[in-house]
Amino acid sequence: MVQAMSRGLRIRITQKCKTIRHSKKENSMKTALYTVYDTCAAYYHAPFVAKTDAQAQRDFCDAVSNPNTAMHNHPEHFFLCKIGSWDDSTA
């Protein structure tokens, strides 16, 4: 399953926001945005936020392990994709 996740498609974020300068960068929180790509349906699920790649992988594995999901029935059709990152002090 980890191999399948590492082969996920990556999306490049092209839009940039204006940088706002903050005096307290030590309190910033960096998070990353992820999505799950369904190769059979050829679409990306709604994005979700995780603090680390490991957390996103765990959440993905939990979804694949849940017998009430399509991801559980066909895990080979789904790939975890990191689509960007976000810092709440610099956007």
* Average pLDDT, integer, range 36-59: 94
Q: Which residue has the higher pLDDT, 3 or 78?
A: 78
What is the number of helices (H) and of strands (E) in the chain? Answer: 3, 4
* Cα separation, 12 vs 74, whole angstroms: 27
Q: Is the pTM of this model over 0.85?
A: no
Q: Tell me the two tokens of residue 28.
A: 């910033």
User: Residue written as tokens 């810092």?
Assistant: 87
CA distance 81 to 47: 9
Asked whether residue 10 carries a pLDDT value surpassing 90, the answer given is no
Q: How confident is the model at residue 16 (pLDDT cuts 50, 70, 90)?
A: very low
Per-residue model confidence as pLDDT tens digits over 48-60: 999 999 999 999 9
